[in-house]
Structure 1
Amino acid sequence: MGSEERDGRDHGEERERPRRARRPASETRRSASDARRPSADARGRSGDARRPATTARSAARSAARELRDLIGHDPESITSVERHDDGWLIGVEVLETHRIPDSTDILAEYRVEVDGEGGLVSYRRARRYYRGRSEERT
């Protein structure tokens, strides 16, 4: 029994490396259209597309994340979720300006549209208001 087998450590003994099978040349070449398109690793996700945001929860999370990345403010809450064409229309409440006391904070509600895969289609600020003011809906 060698020392390597006894304690699992390599004590300077040479080990043979397993050889990797070579891919056929046809698999290693990328087509011209593939060469222009970033690889899955370069896009930051594996597979051929984004994971579908088929549920209201995943669509809302995606909308909040996309909005945060664009405007630089953290979402406070999701105010509405509605199915819209082939995507979702999400209401996201954001703290735009923090003040003391908190009741004078300036909040904004954004309407964010995401497609069926969770990608941002559009967004707009629907309204701004002070945290301490009650809603005036009729």
Structure 2
Amino acid sequence: MSNTKNTADTQASRNTRSSRRPPKGGSPTDDRKEGEDDTVTDDRPKPMEVLRQARAQLAELTGMTAESVSSFSQTEDGWSLEVEVLELERVPDTMSLMASYEVELDPEGQLTGYRRIRRYERGRSDARSGGR
């Protein structure tokens, strides 16, 4: 028996696989700019990831349930959120004490500081007009 057929098959297989790979420098018809890659290496967290992390971190630090995020913005230093927290549960639920916390995060979404900016009963409407 001869190994010639197997060797030819193996070489053909290698040639087919290598022809499917793009050349190392990219082809001249590539739409990509020089130095760009197909993979996105943006390490910034997505806004929803930031929201989830902020709620979880605040709840872990304060021991209170973060119920909602009422404002959210990206700043020069990272992220700024206003989080509504259940501070004291009462019956009926409309009498529970809620609080708004201003939460600051770095660009990676790690909590750098927080402070309570107001406290209110769940059933009460906001007496202030136009927000904060």
Structure 2 length as normaliser, TM-score?
0.62
Secondary structure at the aligned position of 1:117 is classed as coil
2:69 equivalent in structure 1: 78
Secondary structure at the aligned position of 2:94 is classed as helix
Q: Does 1:99 align with 2:96?
A: no
Segments of structure 1 that go 5 or more residues without pairing to the other structure are: 1-50
Q: Cα RMSD between the aligned structures?
A: 1.6
Report how many aligned residue pairs link the two structures: 88
2:109 equivalent in structure 1: 118
The structural deviation recorded for 1:54 is: 3.0
Instruction: Deviation per CA, 1:67-110: give whole Å up to 9, x if none.
Output: 01100011111111011113100111110101011110000011
The counterpart of 1:66, out of the listed 44, 49, 57, is 57
The counterpart of 1:57, out of the listed 32, 48, 53, is 48
Q: Is this contact kept in 2: 1:52–1:116, CA < 8 A?
A: no
Structure 1 length as normaliser, TM-score?
0.60
Segments of structure 2 that go 5 or more residues without pairing to the other structure are: 1-41
1:31 equivalent in structure 2: none
Structure with max Cα Rg: 2
